Chain A
Amino acid sequence: MPKADVLSLANDLSLAQVDQTILGDLYDDFMLELGRVEPWLTSVAMIQSLNGQATYTPQPEVIRILSAFYDELHLSNVGERELEETAELWRDVDGHPIAFTVDAETGKVFRVYPKPDVDGAALVGGFGQVTYAEAIYGGSVPLGSAFSSGTISLLYSSKRLSFLPYMEFPIAFLLLQREFMLESAHRDEGFASACGALGTLFMEMIRDGRGVV
């Protein structure tokens, strides 16, 4: 469901009292928040590793890395302190990666340990990074044994242009809750509260705990 449709729905539900610019910003903020707290929108991406390079910056649409793999191997998500306990000069160790740690400041840039001691083969597609769309939909890039060697794969919560269609209704209400709590000529705490209650109610109806990560 495109962003414009959700904003249009919210506008209709508010009887055209919303500030569309602010609502658009709230939409973007909400997508990021949801991706950090409870990943509904999830994707997979691949990155070609390089000999001696430990640190990688994932694709811009990555909000939170849920899991990482080096070729077939699941990488343990560990903190830097744990790695320091493993080896004093852990940053200099190279070999076959077995773990990764996410930079606390960015929440996205990550380091693999040990750093790869070989160059990864070029990814099928040849762009160095295979995008989500190419990886998921491209028949030439099956997410299986046809992987190039030395590939780092990520499962992540993603930032996209739109939510899933069934999320439109609750999210429109949750955006209205935020918009009408803000200081403005149309601020209305009662309406905001009611929209929050409806948004929460409808969100619960579409929740599925099975994919929770």
Chain B
Amino acid sequence: MAFTAQELTDDLLRRVRDAGGGMHSRTFARSILSKVQQSVNAKYRNVIASTPLTVEKTRQIYSISASLPSAVFVDAIRDGERDVPFANWRELSQSDQAWFRRQGDRIEVFSLVGRDLLVLHPGLPVAGSVTVLFTKFTSVLSAESSPTEVDDDLVPEIMKLSEAVLLVVGRRLEQAKAMIQPEGAAVA
């Protein structure tokens, strides 16, 4: 069962001894919770979404931010029932010096160049479609009633990290320090 932003905000402000919101407004606290939820979801690849992507004739390279604006990671590509395997894009050149314009009957591999280019290789002679599974950039907790999207068992980590952020913002650095240890942040 999802938590509401109101519940998390109440808890967060209590943790930093600011229940009345004198130091941090509820809106600010909620915005931190939103961003931390997005980060935690990315870390665990917890909320996964899928969407069809139109594959244009002969085209192999797609901008992820343009085609999949709510994706943090492209996790998998499905061509019908078939999982398209991943290949490091450097391997494409190693196995085929002409991969950049290669065409084939079906997409054999997908690849990523940096964080914003998705390669579907080889290009298709006719337009088609694949399904992209991606880690979602979770929605902003825009209102007190907004629900969390990640699994409930990740909420303690969201709270711990959000607390650390507010402590840093409030310059309570010694208290924050223990929470920002590389792995310590995961311990609620």
Contact = CB atoms under 8 A, between A and B. Distances in A.
A112 interface: no
Interface in B85-100: 86, 88-90, 93, 97-100
Interface residues of A, number: 51
Contacts of B168: 13, 191, 194-195, 198
B113 A165 contact: no
Interface in A12-64: 12-15, 39-44
Contact of B176 (A142, A155, A194): A194
B177 to A, nearest CB: 7
Given A153-B100, A206-B42, A42 B28 contact: no
B91 to A, nearest CB: 12
A121 interface: no
The 3 closest A-B pairs by CB, nearest first: A144-B58, A42-B114, A211-B112
Interface of A: 12-15, 39-44, 66-67, 69, 71-74, 136-137, 139, 142-147, 153, 155, 157, 164-166, 168-170, 188, 190-191, 194-195, 197-198, 201-202, 204-206, 208, 210-211, 213
Given A143-B59, A168-B35, A191-B173, 9 more contacts: A42-B116, A137-B66, A143-B61, A164-B116, A190-B173, A191-B171, A206-B42, A208-B73, A211-B112
